[in-house]
């Protein structure tokens, strides 16, 4: 069994939520926090300390990268906001996220089958 790192699923909740938020497009830190809250219907509140600790690990692992200043996305964002750091999901980050989603899909499938068995057995 591979050691658990940010590259090996299962991912921690914070890591999964950050990668999911960035899958929708490049975001700055506050944008990630808002996106995570929206994706979880407000149940998961990510604080800035937790966010940047995880982002640092994800950047070090090559799953997330800073958006270069020349990026058109960033230029458009800069028109509205100050010079904030924007982050993007790398190809490797997308692969890790896809693997985690597949793993979670497998868990849900098994859970549904077990529940179905339990209901059938009870009836």
Partner 1 sequence: MNGAVSRLAYRLILRLHPATFRHEFASEMLWIFDQEQQPGAAAHLFFDGTVSLLRQRFRSQNGHGQLSIASGVMITGPGIGPLRFFQAALALSLLWFGLMFLKLPNPLNASVRWADRMPCYTVTLQAPSHAEVVLQSAP
Q: Is 103 in the site for partner 1 (CB under 8 A)?
A: no
Q: Is 61 in the site for partner 1 (CB under 8 A)?
A: no
Q: How many beta carbons lie within 10 A of that of residue 41, not counting itself?
A: 7
23, 26, 39, 52: residue in contact with partner 1 (rule CB under 8 A): 52
- The Cα angle at residue 96 between residues 38 and 55, in degrees rounded to 5: 60
Q: Is 29 in the site for partner 1 (CB under 8 A)?
A: yes
38, 45, 110, 114: residue in contact with partner 1 (rule CB under 8 A): 45
Q: Which two tokens stand for residue 32?
A: 């990630």
Nearest to 45 by CA among 86, 3, 13, 93: 13
The strand order across the sheet containing 86-89 reads 27-28, 86-89, 64-66
Residues that contact partner 1, how many (by CB under 8 A): 25
| Residues within the interface to partner 1 (CB under 8 A) | 4, 10, 12-15, 17, 28-30, 33, 44-50, 52-54, 56, 82, 84-85
């Amino acid at each position: 069994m591979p050691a658990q790192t940010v590259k090996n699923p299962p991912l921690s909740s914070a890591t999964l939520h950050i990668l999911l938020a960035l899958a929708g497009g490049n975001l700055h830190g506050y944008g990630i926090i808002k996106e995570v809250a929206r994706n979880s219907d407000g149940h998961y509140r990510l604080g800035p300390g937790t966010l940047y600790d995880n982002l640092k690990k994800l950047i070090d692992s090559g799953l997330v990268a800073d958006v270069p200043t020349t990026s058109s996305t960033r230029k458009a964002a800069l028109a509205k906001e100050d010079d904030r750091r924007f982050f993007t999901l790398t190809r490797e980050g997308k692969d890790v996220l896809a693997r985690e989603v597949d793993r979670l899909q497998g868990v849900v499938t098994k859970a549904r089958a077990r529940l179905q068995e339990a209901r059938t057995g009870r009836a």
